[in-house]
Structure 1
Amino acid sequence: MTTSAHRPTHLGERVEAADWPALAAELDTHGCALTPQLLTADECRDIAALYADPARFRSTVDMARHRFGAGQYRYFARPLPDPVQELRRACYPRLLPIARDWAHRLGRPAPWPDTLDEWLEMCHRAGQTRPTPILLRYGKDDWNALHRDLYGDLVFPLQIVIGLDEPGTDYTGGEFLLVEQRVRAQSRGTATVLRRGHGLIFTTRDRPVPSARGWSASAVRHGVSVVRSGTRHTLGLVFHDAA
């Protein structure tokens, strides 16, 4: 993939340009929030094309084999591609105040330091040393079972998935699914269509919701609905490394 000396700056500027108070409010209401466009169409194609080079990845997972659904995904190896690294580093400080606020509401520790590098060093000292940014590929009839991306005891409570193909043109179906087990109520589902280059911020494990006692943790899982046609690629940004 062709890199540009100016690309990290451009990506950081796009992240900074988002309306973060509005995104935080949407996360409070729905447990997920759509960002403005973070990657251009060309950048999306470049990242999706990396899937053809196994040397860029530390492992490949066949979802059907592990009964995770159907389809395939690959975890990036170090060094991460420049745009993946820059997006992860630029998004972390914008997500951090939300993470700390949620921890405060739930009466939990907020162990996350001010920078991603410091946080990842904490993960590595705890034995979570494997990078977690992920490139996913779904074909016709593929899907992803509801799950959580935890990977160890140290967890950052928010993550981002970015669409790399255009829904309705490159593929149909394949909506991003979020299912929340509401406190003493039936589960609530949210389905989101990911436009190319746009991200969806969502909760990794649970989120605070108002309750009679003040705040309670509402458990959340995520997945992908069945792809009806075409091929769907997404980039997943998890902000803790794996054991």
Structure 2
Amino acid sequence: MNTATDISTTTADPARAERRASRSFDWSAIEASLDARGNAVLPQVLSAAQCGQIAALYSRDDCFRSRIVMARHNFGRGEYKYFAYPLPPLLHKLRHALYPYLAPIANRWNAQMGLDVRYPLELAAFLDECHRAGQTRPTPLILEYGAGDYNCLHQDLYGEHVFPLQMAILLSQPGRDFEGGEFVMTETASSGQHAEVIALEQGDAVLFTVNQRPAAGKRGGTRKVVMRHGVSQIRSGKRHTLGLIFHDAR
């Protein structure tokens, strides 16, 4: 039985998740948070049952294209797996449902920063651009951390075509499944550095900046803020996270 059948026949209903992502959130508030802080939390994007079903996929090999052991690359400690195409329907629908809300923000940000790149308003058209440039490998992934594991601050770039926003959904419950393992973002600008710890519960998602965003300059105009993200050390238990990146990899 293939992964697509497994997901679509469980309680992780793709159509319900798509409706939840596209209609149940205050996108004006989300946009304001992204502008001000470079991130925004979307509560309960997935149910506990959906989180458990997605996390359970990690033990399988047939739905992933590769496995990365982070210590081998000095990325931290822990591991993750990239999904293969076709993505499970739930992930496919979430990715396509969210992108049209994010593309206008990405285009406005690029205009404010004086960048010429503009993004199509539908994900399929943007992925076509990625694939024509040789970025054909899917980037959605599941990360698995155990006690002592962590993720160094980094940016998920993968090639020339980079969509400036991405999402992480916490699949495990803090305090029950694991301790520690906070999601961390840093920003660096000419005015200095800043770090923020973002609290998430199981099923919550954080939208965040991939590499850079615009911010108001102290003397007017716009400055560029460089963003990175990571995960603090897991003190105990096991933590799973779903990552949704909108550009594909070379």
TM range (shorter): over 0.9
Within the candidate set 57, 63, 78, 2:64 is matched to: 57
The within-5 A match list for 1:129-140 is 129-140=136-147
Distance 2:237 2:170 in 1: 14
* Alignment pair present for 1:159 and 2:186: no
Distance 2:7 2:205 in 1: 22
Distance 1:50 1:202 in 2: 25
SS in 2 for 1:121: helix
Query: Which residue is equivalent to 2:213?
Result: 207
Question: C-alpha displacement at 1:213, in angstroms?
Answer: 5.2
Distance 2:145 2:175 in 1: 14
The within-5 A match list for 1:111-126 is 111-126=118-133
Long gaps (5+) in structure 2: 1-5
After superposition, the C-alpha distances for 1:71-90 in whole angstroms (9 at most, x for unaligned) are: 00000011111111111011
CA-based RMSD of the aligned residues comes to 1.3
SS in 1 for 2:159: coil
Query: Which residue is equivalent to 2:33?
Result: 26
Question: C-alpha displacement at 1:185, in angstroms?
Answer: 2.3
After superposition, the C-alpha distances for 1:140-178 in whole angstroms (9 at most, x for unaligned) are: 010000100000010100000000011111111000010
Does structure 2 conserve the Cα–Cα contact (< 8 Å) formed by 1:167 and 1:193?
no
Q: Which amino acid letter does the alignment assign opposite residue 209 of structure 1?
A: A
**TM-score normalised by structure 2 residue count:** 0.94
Query: Which residue is equivalent to 1:187?
Result: 193
Long gaps (5+) in structure 1: none
Moved more, 5-14 or 38-47: 5-14
Does structure 1 conserve the Cα–Cα contact (< 8 Å) formed by 2:167 and 2:207?
yes
The within-5 A match list for 1:1-243 is 1-4=6-9, 7-16=13-22, 17-182=24-189, 184-211=190-217, 212=219, 214-243=221-250
After superposition, the C-alpha distances for 1:18-47 in whole angstroms (9 at most, x for unaligned) are: 110001101111111100211111110000
Does structure 1 conserve the Cα–Cα contact (< 8 Å) formed by 2:69 and 2:78?
yes
Distance 1:2 1:160 in 2: 20
Distance 1:202 1:96 in 2: 13
Distance 1:55 1:38 in 2: 26
After superposition, the C-alpha distances for 1:44-94 in whole angstroms (9 at most, x for unaligned) are: 000000000012111100001111000000000111111111110111001
Does structure 1 conserve the Cα–Cα contact (< 8 Å) formed by 2:177 and 2:239?
yes
Query: What is the aligned length?
Result: 242
SS in 1 for 2:248: coil
**TM-score normalised by structure 1 residue count:** 0.96
| Closer/same/farther in 2, CA of residues 104 and 2 from structure 1, 3 Å limit | closer
| Closer/same/farther in 2, CA of residues 2 and 92 from structure 1, 3 Å limit | closer
Q: Which amino acid letter does the alignment assign opposite residue 90 of structure 2?
A: P
SS in 2 for 1:75: strand
Question: C-alpha displacement at 1:233, in angstroms?
Answer: 0.2
Distance 1:235 1:87 in 2: 12
